[in-house]
Chains A and B, each alone.
Chain A
Amino acid sequence: MEKERAIITVNGVDHPGIIATITNVLADMDINIEDLSQTVLQDLFTMIMIVDLKGADIIELQDKLSKTGAKQGVRITVQHENIFKYMHRV
């Protein structure tokens, strides 16, 4: 089966524990992080993760992460990689 990836973007006000809580959700769902970039600019936390869904349901992941995002006070977007592939790769 072809690998299915999702792109997770997180932004909000920086504070300890954002990455930890998100990666916990991913570990619980057996989702592997393939790439991660994170910056803090003027207290604004931005993180982009590329994850291998390994058969996990993207809608379920969205539900779980939106709850995490609400608790952490950050905005989390989960999108299937194809929208980026279609838009940015010919």
Chain B
Amino acid sequence: MLFSTEEILETIRMIAVEHLDIRTVTLGINLQGCASDDVDVVSQRIYDKIVTTSERLVQEADSVESKYGLPIVNKRVAVTPIAKLLDAVVAGMSEEDAICAGVKIAKSMDSAAKFVDIDFIGGYSALVHKGFTRGSTALINSIPKALTETDTVCSSVNVASTKSGINMDAVIEMGKVIKIASKKPINCAKLVTFANAPPDNPFMAGAFHGSGEPEAVINVGISGPGVIRAVVEQVENVDLGTLAENIKRTSFKIARVGELVGREMAARLGVKFGIIDLSLAPAPIKGDSVANILEAMGLERCGTHGSTAALALLTDAVKKGGAMASSYVGGLSGAFIPVSEDAGMAEAVEKGAINLEKLEAMTSVCSVGLDMVVVPKDTTAETISAIIADECAIGVVNNKTTGVRIIPTGKEGDYVEFGGLLGRSPVLSVGKFCSANFVRRGGRIPAPIQSLTG
């Protein structure tokens, strides 16, 4: 036979039993050609550009899904950071008018997303790692209102980079923005604060169409924690080197599927194929959990001692296998450890196996940082800023992407429900001591030295 029975059944089992799917096919769209100093003109142009470029996205993805018998869970759009378009619009405007202009553009993104039938559109974003432009200030100030008045729009702000350090003024602003936005908690699930944000990330809420990207591009986010967990369970009595080898082989297969779908989607839409994001993206259903993989490796609960090492092994093996499978790897490419979106993580929090401090340690060896972390509603803006600053420091010093998606709502011990892929989570506790005087100093933490010699 062209393929052995085992090979055919393995693929079918991965999809049917182990929840292998393509987590997202994200179409990146350049909006720079939509610029104007008139907000009505910009909004209309943005709407038209998004609709004309992505009108066949869902239909083609559905057809590819049928052809291969492989679920494509999300179809999404990422656009040029809107702050770039706001620069011309808000010149000479009052702060209030500038916020309204931002919200107007967000609503036009929202309408376009709903018209083409996608669940999220990313790119209500600003890159301020070195400083603010008029447009980026307006955008950041408008985030709470823009998220409240739209359903599909996702926002991200890059506040730090390895080359420029950490813009603490922006970190302060984001602490305040998150607090205001949290009046409607779901807003915070659609808002990421980044260090070293990638320009080609297909995953929400942090997707945007960055500098250097083509006019339109398809980026693919794979999934597969369930498949990796099954492999880890099958080889329970092997040493960690052999375990890594087995994860690599499976990761190769998962990434190949992403490559196939990415190329076919790009060809069908007549746009460039960008990258495969090798991240293992969990879903809040039983078995599709990164925490459960670490537990299958031999930890009683994710979060206990050894979790950082286990996660480092996992992330590295996934990347090595994936790198062989695709010529174009990008985005975040690591293992996601979101709390609410991963049933195993949420359970680990509930059992007291993991806390914010251990989560932070684990983010130093994977992506995407502190993700979907619920903290008490009375957490101050300064504490949130300090949490962001710590996470940025990990990203900046280690030359990797880190993000913070934090939701201040409820009180310690509460369980918060977000619904769908966003899942549910207990509220984690934060440190009891104050960081405000450090954070309020503002300014920019200088970029770390890369090498003292050579």
Which residues in A have some Cβ–Cβ distance to B below 8 Å? 5, 7, 9, 34-35, 37, 48, 50, 58-59, 62, 77-84, 86-88
Q: Within 8 Å CB of B1, what residues of A?
A: 35, 37, 48, 50
Q: With the chains together, A83 CA to B2 CA distance in Å?
A: 13
Q: Is the CB of B257 within 8 A of A86?
A: yes
B45 at the interface (CB under 8 A from A): no
Q: Which residues of chain B in 14-30 are interfacial with respect to chain A, using CB atoms and an 8 Å cutoff?
A: none
**Which chain B residues border A59 with CB–CB below 8 Å?**
63, 66-67
A78 touches B8 (CB 8 A): no
Query: Do B8 and A62 touch (CB < 8 A)?
Result: no
Residues of B within 8 A of A50 (CB): 1-3
Assembled-state Cα–Cα distance A59/B7 (Å)? 23
**What is the CA–CA distance of A59 and B69 in the complex, to the nearest angstrom?**
10
A87 interface neighbour in B11, B63, B66, B69, Cβ under 8 Å: B11
**B3 touching A83, Cβ below 8 Å:** no
A84 touches B7 (CB 8 A): yes
Determine whether the beta carbon of A79 is less than 8 Å from that of B68.
yes
List 16 additional contacts besides A50-B3, A81-B3; criterion CB under 8 Å: A35-B2, A37-B1, A37-B5, A48-B8, A50-B1, A50-B2, A58-B66, A59-B67, A79-B69, A80-B68, A83-B11, A84-B7, A86-B256, A87-B253, A87-B257, A88-B11
Instruction: Please name all residues of chain A whose beta carbon is closer than 8 Å to the beta carbon of B11 when the two chains form the complex.
Output: 79, 83-84, 87-88
Check A83/B66 contact, CB under 8 A, given A7-B8, A37-B5.
no
- B70 beta carbon closer than 8 Å to chain A: yes
Does B391 sit at the interface, judged by CB under 8 A?
no
Chain B interface, >50% SS class = helix
Q: Is the interface of A mostly helix, strand, loop or mixed?
A: strand
Chain B interface residue number, banded: 20 to 34
CA distance A34 to B9 in the complex (A): 18
- B260 partner residues in chain A, CB cutoff 8 A: 82-83, 86
* Interface flag for B267 (CB, 8 Å): no
Residues of chain B having any CB pair with chain A under 8 Å:
1-3, 5, 7-12, 63, 66-70, 253, 256-257, 259-260
Across-interface contacts of A87 in B (CB, < 8 A): 7, 11, 253, 256-257
Q: Using Cβ atoms and an 8 Å threshold, which residues of chain B touch A48?
A: 1, 5, 8
- Alpha-carbon distance between A9 and B5 when the two chains are bound, in angstroms: 10
From B10, B67, B253, B257, name the one whose CB has the most chain A CB atoms within 10 angstroms. Answer: B67
Specify the chain B residue showing the minimal Cβ separation from A63. B66
Q: Kindly identify which residue among B7, B12, B66 contacts A62, using a CB–CB cutoff of 8 Å.
A: B66
Query: 8 tightest A-B contacts by CB?
Result: A79-B69, A86-B256, A83-B68, A86-B260, A88-B7, A87-B253, A80-B67, A84-B3
What's the Cα separation between A35 and B257 when bound, in Å? Answer: 24
For the complex, give the distance between the alpha carbons of A32 and B67 in Å. 18
Q: Which residues of B sit under 8 angstroms from A37, Cβ to Cβ? A: 1, 5
Contacts of B2 in A (CB 8 A): 5, 34-35, 50, 81, 84
Question: What is the CB-to-nearest-CB distance from B66 to chain A, in angstroms, rounded to a whole number?
Answer: 5
Say whether B259 contacts A9, CB under 8 Å: no
Provide the bound-state CA to CA distance between A59 and B1, in Å: 24
Chain B residues contacting A62 (CB-CB under 8 Å) are 66
Looking at the complex, which one of A5, A9, A34 makes contact with B12 (CB distance below 8 Å)? A9
Q: How far is the CB of A53 from chain B (nearest CB, A)?
A: 11
A70 to B168, CA, bound (A): 61
The residue on B at minimum CB distance from A58 is B67
Residues of B within 8 A of A5 (CB): 2
Q: Tell me the smallest distance from the CB of B247 to a CB of chain A, in Å.
A: 16
- What A residues does B257 contact at CB under 8 A? 83, 86-87
CA distance A35 to B151 in the complex (A): 50
Of the A-B pairs whose beta carbons lie under 8 Å apart in the complex, a sample of 29, sorted by A's number, is: A9-B12, A34-B2, A35-B1, A35-B2, A37-B1, A50-B2, A50-B3, A58-B66, A59-B63, A59-B66, A62-B66, A78-B69, A79-B69, A80-B67, A80-B68, A82-B68, A82-B260, A83-B68, A83-B69, A83-B70, A84-B2, A84-B7, A84-B11, A86-B256, A86-B257, A87-B256, A87-B257, A88-B10, A88-B253
